[in-house]
């Protein structure tokens, strides 16, 4: 049986029919079983932040694998301590909890918010509501999907966890209407990813911060996709100029190794007392070594600055192509190296994505009709030019 046949026979059909078999990766390129190469501007959904098979990352992970892979959170390990220190250093005074994925990071934020609300209100069940944004995406576990205001994600899982309300993204008035003293937190993505790359307006985030202060609620940012240099600063919210009380992280943080984390300000972290939360795998030395190597590569090569600069370069190219094909493309938008092109309704993003792949460019579908550009952060002009060329040619053929 081929790899694809085995997966269609033995894997749950949650991912549908998958298009091709990826056998290896190097830098901004991935290769299929026949050795055909593709320019990978999806980076495994914003995960391969320092490129595939990064030599410094490999060295660090190899060294840690030979030393100690896992020992649980019953004991201390140096990589965990170093990673916590490094994240606090980059984000601000506070504390860190390390888990294994984005959805888990958001579960930790939801639990922290509920504990915080209960402490403030002097008991459970009085201050627990969390306000999130329509078309946001926070993950697929039951808490995170309750925070995800999208019918297609929640469909089939009723009863949905109670205590969530949904405002309109970039519409501060719609959030204001939902605020009250029973609100424990507001949780939004500084740049909405899955729904088609919509950056928050700085004024919107500032208004949320003001509302949270007024109602003694926490301002929480889901930076799982937009963080770790992708938008031009370590956090997208740092670029947008608003600091939160808590942040969830995952995707690009481990450079491909599964890891998630939350950062909480001191006032918020103190509620996570012994016994309130835990994890077996989270923060194990191998995952932390991978994340440390990724963060080291980000800072030593100035990859956040590169993302800002290359993001501008990519944006100029995409806007030019959008103007050239107004009958096919509605618009291009984004921040840093998190970009999307929205297609006219008569085209399907899945169809365009397949045509681009045939021509050697990998992009990631988003929202109802967009494709995302999320290349590794060490991408250069040569690769961007090559990607734009394939994109333009495919638009001509469409």
Ligand X SMILES: *Cc1c(COP(=O)(O)O)cnc(C)c1O
Burial 275-314 (b: 16+ CB within 10 A, else e): eebebebbbbbbbbbbbbbbbbbbeeeebbebbbebbebb
Q: Looking at beta carbons only, is 101 or 294 nearer to ligand X?
A: 101
Q: What CA–CA distance (Å, rounded) separates 398 from 373?
A: 19
> To the nearest whole angstrom, how small is the minimum distance from the Cβ of residue 67 to ligand X?
26
Q: Would you count residue 139 as binding ligand X (CB under 6 A)?
A: yes
Q: Would you count residue 135 as binding ligand X (CB under 6 A)?
A: no
Q: Would you count residue 107 as binding ligand X (CB under 6 A)?
A: no
* Per-residue interface string for the shown chain with ligand X, residues 377-396, x marking contact by CB under 6 A: --------------------
Q: Looking at beta carbons only, is 363 or 388 nearer to ligand X?
A: 363
Residue 154 is encoded by which pair of tokens?
A: 């929640």
**Which of 29, 38, 116, 137 touches ligand X by CB under 6 A?**
137
The helix (H) or strand (E) run that includes residue 330 is strand 329-335
Q: Would you count residue 194 as binding ligand X (CB under 6 A)?
A: yes
The stretch near ligand X (CB under 6 A) out of 79-87, 196-204, 218-226, 269-277 is: 218-226
**Which of 51, 79, 163, 193 touches ligand X by CB under 6 A?**
193
Q: Would you count residue 225 as binding ligand X (CB under 6 A)?
A: yes
* Size of the chain, expressed as the number of residues it contains: 398
Q: Looking at beta carbons only, is 102 or 199 nearer to ligand X?
A: 102
Sign of CA dihedral 177, 181, 182, 185: positive
Nearest to 48 by CA among 63, 58, 33: 58
**Which of 101, 132, 294, 369 touches ligand X by CB under 6 A?**
101
The stretch near ligand X (CB under 6 A) out of 99-107, 201-209, 338-346, 350-358 is: 99-107
* Cα–Cα separations (whole angstroms), residue 313 to 133, 136, 292, 380: 30, 27, 29, 10
User: Are 94 and 88 within 8 A, CB to CB?
Assistant: yes
Q: What CA–CA distance (Å, rounded) separates 248 from 222?
A: 5
> To the nearest whole angstrom, how small is the minimum distance from the Cβ of residue 33 to ligand X?
26
CA 376 to chain centre: 13
Q: Residues binding ligand X: what is the number (CB under 6 A)? A: 15
The contact set with ligand X (CB under 6 A) reads 101-103, 106, 137-139, 189, 193-194, 222, 224-225, 250-251
């Amino acid at each position: 049986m081929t790899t694809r046949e085995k997966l269609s026979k033995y894997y749950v059909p949650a991912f549908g029919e998958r298009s091709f078999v990826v056998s290896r990766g190097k830098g901004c390129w991935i290769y299929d079983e026949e050795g055909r190469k593709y320019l990978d501007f999806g980076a495994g959904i914003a995960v391969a932040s320092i490129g595939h098979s990064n030599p410094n990352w490999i060295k660090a992970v190899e060294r840690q694998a030979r030393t100690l892979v896992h020992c649980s959170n019953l004991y201390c390990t140096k990589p965990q301590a170093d990673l916590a220190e490094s994240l606090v250093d980059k984000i601000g005074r506070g504390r860190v909890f390390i888990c294994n994925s984005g959805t888990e990071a958001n579960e930790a934020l939801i639990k922290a918010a509920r504990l915080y609300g209960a402490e403030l209100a002097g008991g459970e069940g009085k201050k627990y509501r969390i306000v999130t944004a329509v078309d946001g995406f926070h993950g697929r576990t039951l808490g995170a999907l309750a925070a995800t205001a999208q019918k297609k994600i929640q469909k089939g899982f009723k009863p949905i966890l109670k205590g969530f309300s949904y405002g309109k993204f970039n519409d501060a008035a719609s959030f204001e209407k939902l605020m009250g003293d029973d609100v424990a937190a507001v949780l939004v993505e500084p740049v909405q990813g899955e729904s088609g790359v919509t950056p928050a307006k700085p004024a919107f985030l500032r208004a949320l911060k003001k509302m949270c202060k007024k109602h003694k609620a926490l301002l929480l940012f889901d930076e799982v996709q937009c963080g770790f240099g992708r938008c031009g600063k370590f956090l997208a919210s740092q670029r947008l100029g608003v600091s939160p009380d808590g942040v969830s992280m995952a995707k690009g943080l481990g450079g491909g190794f599964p890891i998630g984390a939350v950062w909480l300000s001191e006032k918020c972290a103190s509620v996570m007392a012994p016994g309130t939360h835990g994890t077996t795998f989270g923060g194990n030395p191998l995952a932390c070594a991978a994340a440390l190597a990724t963060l080291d590569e980000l800072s030593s090569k100035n990859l956040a600055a590169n993302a800002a600069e290359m993001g501008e370069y990519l944006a100029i190219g995409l806007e030019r192509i959008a103007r050239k094909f107004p009958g096919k493309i509605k618009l291009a938008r984004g921040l840093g190296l998190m970009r999307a092109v929205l297609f006219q309704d008569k085209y399907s993003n899945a169809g365009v994505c397949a045509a681009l792949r045939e021509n050697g460019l990998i992009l990631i579908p988003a929202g109802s009709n967009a494709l995302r550009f999320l290349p590794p952060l060490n991408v250069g002009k040569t690769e961007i030019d090559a990607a734009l060329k394939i994109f333009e040619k495919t638009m001509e053929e469409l």
